[in-house]
Amino acid sequence: MTIGSNSLYDIGSNFSIKLNDKEVLVLEDDPLSKSLHDSKEAKNEKKSEEKKAEEAKRSSNPDELSEDEKRLVKDLASRDSEVKAHEAAHQAAGGGMTGAATYTYQQGPDGKMYAIGGEVSISTPTSSNPDEAIKNARTVMASAMAAGDPSAQDFAVAASAKVMEMKALAQKAKEAQSKQEGQEAYKNEAITLDKEVA
């Protein structure tokens, strides 16, 4: 294979190897390749700017949305209303035990943000007695099931609250039994003392 001087070999986007007059390889900028690369970048940048301008134009004028985009906006708006009503129901039923609602948003083709998911935190205060624990558990259950269409997470929270209620009821029954046994023991001891005195 014969290599003549000033032969070019493409080794990348902007560089080439060239043999100089002394037959030594030289790495240098390839002006042709560089100009082609710069031209492609400019075209891509222009397309990107045109696309952004088109989206901005559409977002400022909802009448220019396609039928599919209008349907999507309608679905997103409906979902937004459902999510916000669902979380508001939890907050209303939970009273002081619920925190602020947090939402997950999705941007619609009209440029607006729509809530597509949400949650409300419920914190149960520690209870000093079984009656208070039962009351708290029932409030949590009511809050979890307050929405018209409870989610799987809502059912899980309600189930946990039901377990909390059952434990408190068991503790209350145990305390009542201990109290009853204590009263009976006291009564038996009093009867025994009366017989010994008599």
> What pLDDT, on a 0 to 100 scale, did the predictor assign at position 4?
42
Which pLDDT tens digit goes with each residue over 156-190?
Answer: 999 999 999 999 999 999 988 888 887 777 777 76
Average model confidence (pLDDT) across the chain: 78
Which pLDDT tens digit goes with each residue over 44-74?
Answer: 787 777 777 666 655 555 568 899 999 999 9
18 within 8 A of 6, measured Cβ to Cβ: yes
pTM comes to 0.57
91 within 8 A of 101, measured Cβ to Cβ: yes
